[in-house]
Homo-oligomer: A and B are copies of this chain.
Amino acid sequence: MSTPAREPRQERSRTTRRRLIDAAVECLGELGWSGTTVAEIAQRAGVSRGAAQHHFRTREDLVTAAVEYLGEVQVAQLRLRAEQLPPGESRIEPVVDMLLNLYTGAMFRAALHLWVAASSDDALRAVLAPLEARVGREAHRVALELLGVDEAHPGVREMVQATLDLARGLGLANLLSDDERRRARIIHQWARVLGSSLPEPGDTPKRPRKREITGLAR
């Protein structure tokens, strides 16, 4: 049986991939897209350029994998943290807190470098635009799930989209200075507004409760 020999090789390959992705994120954040080359990433990952190109032929392939991976990590972390929350209405503030803090770290900074570069680089845009849409849809799905709402209710889809667009705007505001205190007040306020305008968690569109205060069905 070749399994015992193959397993460590697969393991090693996964580790190399992961190190290349981590190095790509670090490199993007520090040097931007123009400084992010396969050679630079390979060096930071402690991998030969050939080995790096065995995994990822071009830097576009590499950053695509990185964005995809980061999206998955983010969603997994959200789900994990959400599992530890109490059920019911008291969830809304911690969930909004998680969502509105989603884009305040190094991952968003790296992605931002890519988005901005892609806005004037057609080849990069071609790989990034569909990927961005996919990662965005996944974030939206998780947000619905965490908030426990059904987007068949009129207005719910837009409120959840607005929450994630607001999160990205807050990420931008955090780019050049530490915006945590201001953001905390916005999070608190937004949780109140969402709490009174979203339908009750688990509510179905056929029999909306609290209709008079949702402000969504008018």
Copies of this chain in its oligomeric complex: 2
Say yes or no: is A32 at the interface (Cβ < 8 Å to chain B). yes
The majority secondary structure among interface residues of chain A is helix
- Interface residue total, chain A, C-beta cutoff 8 A: 53
Among B31, B132, B159, B175, which residue has its beta carbon within 8 angstroms of that of A176?
B132
Say yes or no: is A190 at the interface (Cβ < 8 Å to chain B). yes
Cβ–Cβ < 8 Å partners of A173 in chain B = 136, 165, 168
Contact between chains at B215 and A116 (CB < 8 Å): no
Contact between chains at B29 and A120 (CB < 8 Å): yes
Contact between chains at A32 and B116 (CB < 8 Å): yes
The smallest beta-carbon distance between A109 and chain B, in angstroms, is 6
Contact between chains at A158 and B116 (CB < 8 Å): no
Among residues 132 to 173 in chain A, which have CB atoms less than 8 Å away from a CB atom of chain B?
A: 132-133, 136, 155, 157-159, 161-162, 164-173
The chain B residue with its CB closest to the CB of A136 is B173
Contact between chains at A158 and B125 (CB < 8 Å): no
Chain A positions near chain B (C-beta within 8 angstroms) = 29-32, 34, 109, 112-113, 115-120, 125, 128-129, 132-133, 136, 155, 157-159, 161-162, 164-173, 175-177, 182, 185-186, 188-190, 192-193, 196-197, 213, 215-216, 218
